[in-house]
Amino acid sequence: MKSLADQVAIITGAGTGIGRATALEFGRQGVKTVLVGRRSEPIEAVAHAIEVEGGSSIAFAVDIAEPGAFERILAVALRQFGRVDIVMNNAVAISTGLPEDIPYEEWQRVMDINFFSVVRSNKVFLPILIDQGHGHLVNTASVDGLYGFGYDRLPYASSKAALVHLSEGLAHYLWPKGIGVTCLCPGPVESEIATQLKSFGRPHDVHGPGKQLSLISSEDVGHLVVEAVRRNRFMVYTHHEGIHEIVVRRAQDTDAFLASQIANPEIIFRWGGDIPVS
């Protein structure tokens, strides 16, 4: 997009972390935002912060797992701003546990929020973007979806890997129609995602993506997202050099890469009962 001013963006998971930071940065660029989250207080606080800085925003509390949620989001956007230009699918569900300890129902919950919510979002918003001949999608995947270090949170990692593939397929389909697609793959980012972590089964180690990927701020990620929309970039790594090097090594010799990952795991913490133990 050459100019972001007066565009209208819908952001799910907008109350904290990457969603919040992206919403604030969009607001500074003149984008009107519809902030979506399950709880009203966080998204209302973000909307207020945007308006204090001179932007225009509305908060809409809804659970995107509910039937008809995206139709309701669309109705709010059209009533408030009259259009939709950017859709950021950023809501997240995450859990941890050994593969044999995570119940099927938890797999369903995580896949429904992280992957099938994007499918439902596409069903509502893609016809509008295609009809108007312009727009942009942003799907928040993860470094967990690029290589398989996170066996302690397989539902999350699997959903993010599926989202990477979905996003690439959409780019093939939508770019010729004038619609950009961005796949955001964050590494370690300062956010409240750990507070959403549900634990199952026995104490276990929680693995990280690699020591070369240091913790960065959600504000830095928000800036990367907005620039990606402006420049129509597809793949966005929050730690470009580190993740790029890892992905290249994996592609060059997957067996050797996997053996190295298994022999030298990065343990973030050990989860014992309901709390992480350093």
Distance CA 208, CA 11 (A): 27
Residue 97 has pLDDT above 50, yes or no: yes
Distance CA 216, CA 210 (A): 14
Q: Give the pLDDT score at 176.
A: 97
Average pLDDT, the chain: 94
Q: Give the pLDDT score at 278.
A: 38
Q: Any idea what DSSP says for residue 112?
A: I
Q: Give the pLDDT score at 274.
A: 54
Question: Which H or E element spans position 21?
Answer: helix 17-28
Q: Give the pLDDT score at 193.
A: 67
Which of left, alpha, beta for 30 (phi over 0: left; psi -120 to 50: alpha)? left
Give the HSE-up count for residue 33: Cα atoms under 13 Å, Cβ half-sphere: 35
Quickly count helices (H) and strands (E) in the chain: 9, 12
Three-state SS at 28: helix
Residue 192: which pLDDT band, with cuts at 50, 70 and 90? confident
For the chain, the helix, strand and coil percentages under 3-state DSSP, each to the nearest 5 = 50, 20, 30
Distance CA 167, CA 138 (A): 9
- Please, are residues 179 and 131 in contact by the beta-carbon 8 Å criterion? no
The two tokens of residue 40 are 């009203």
Lowest mean pLDDT among 154-168, 198-212, 233-247: 198-212
Terminal CA-to-CA distance of the chain, rounded, Å? 45
Q: Is the dihedral of CA 216, 217, 220, 221 positive or negative?
A: positive
For 61, counting Cβ atoms within 10 Å of its Cβ (0-12 exposed, 13-18 middle, 19+ buried), the class is: middle
Lowest mean pLDDT among 181-190, 192-201, 238-247, 259-268: 192-201
Please give the positions annotated as active site: 156
Q: What is the pLDDT of residues 214-225, one digit of tens each?
A: 889 999 999 999
Three-state SS at 198: strand
Task: Give the domains, in start order, of the chain with CATH numbers.
Answer: 8-271 (3.40.50.720)
Q: Is the dihedral of CA 260, 191, 33, 113 positive or negative?
A: positive
Distance CA 116, CA 122 (A): 10
pTM: 0.94
Lowest mean pLDDT among 68-77, 176-185, 262-271: 262-271
Share of the chain above pLDDT 70, in %: 96
Question: Which H or E element spans position 37?
Answer: strand 32-37
